[in-house]
A and B are shown apart, each in its own frame.
Chain A
Amino acid sequence: KQEVTQIPAALSVPEGENLVLNCSFTDSAIYNLQWFRQDPGKGLTSLLLIQSSQREQTSGRLNASLDKSSGRSTLYIAASQPGDSATYLCAVLRDSSYKLIFGSGTRLLVRP
């Protein structure tokens, strides 16, 4: 059974710091991995999608990497800003059944 874990559960950093969020999964047979952002009481915004054949994806200050063999993905946020404060979720698509398996999220606070 696929399980997705995110560490740490919460993170507080000063503005400007570079930071890394971690996501691990138990079954390496995945189609893709997606990182989302969720603001309190709001929906999920897709940040980056990495296909199983890819190693990384970049969008602006965000960079996500994928290492299937070790069952790990990282989300790197450069020069963090208070507006980055949110919960970050990773999710893996394990097969063509279209079911995403979510981690429990990392709650990020960027202090001004």
Chain B
Amino acid sequence: EAQVTQNPRYLITVTGKKLTVTCSQNMNHEYMSWYRQDPGLGLRQIYYSMNVEVTDKGDVPEGYKVSRKEKRNFPLILESPSPNQTSLYFCASSHKTATGISYEQYFGPGTRLTVT
């Protein structure tokens, strides 16, 4: 089954304790991205990756790191989490179709992070 998976689905942690949220897709997509969703602010892009070893900042990259060493994986790293990073996080992947640009995005189930 084609899907985007995230782990963990729920995480409660303390300020300053480094954590990684994993994201994996099995569709051989070139593009992957991270979003956060906050009440009243909607969904905002954190980082994206056009392909292996190619990453760039989105709208709200501060406090986050990413890496893309393999095509299927795109982990989100919080080196020193703070309470303002409490949010619902989504990973997404996308591809170009053979007939042209599609960019239809597929989303993972989300990771609810609480930083105390």
A-to-B contact residues, CB < 8 Å: 31-32, 34, 36, 41-46, 49, 51, 89, 91, 93, 96-100, 102-105
Scoring B residues 13 to 47 as 1 if CB is less than 8 Å from chain A, else 0, what string do you get?
00000000000000000010101000000111100
Contact B42 A44 (CB under 8 A): no
CA distance A45 to B105 in the complex (A): 9
Residues of A within 8 A of B85 (CB): none
B-to-A contact residues, CB < 8 Å: 31, 33, 35, 42-45, 48, 50, 56, 58-59, 90, 92, 94, 100-110, 112
15 A-B contact pairs sorted by A residue (CB < 8 Å): A31-B103, A42-B110, A43-B108, A44-B107, A45-B107, A46-B104, A49-B103, A51-B101, A91-B105, A98-B31, A98-B33, A99-B48, A99-B59, A102-B42, A105-B42
Contact A43 B50 (CB under 8 A): no
Contact B90 A97 (CB under 8 A): no
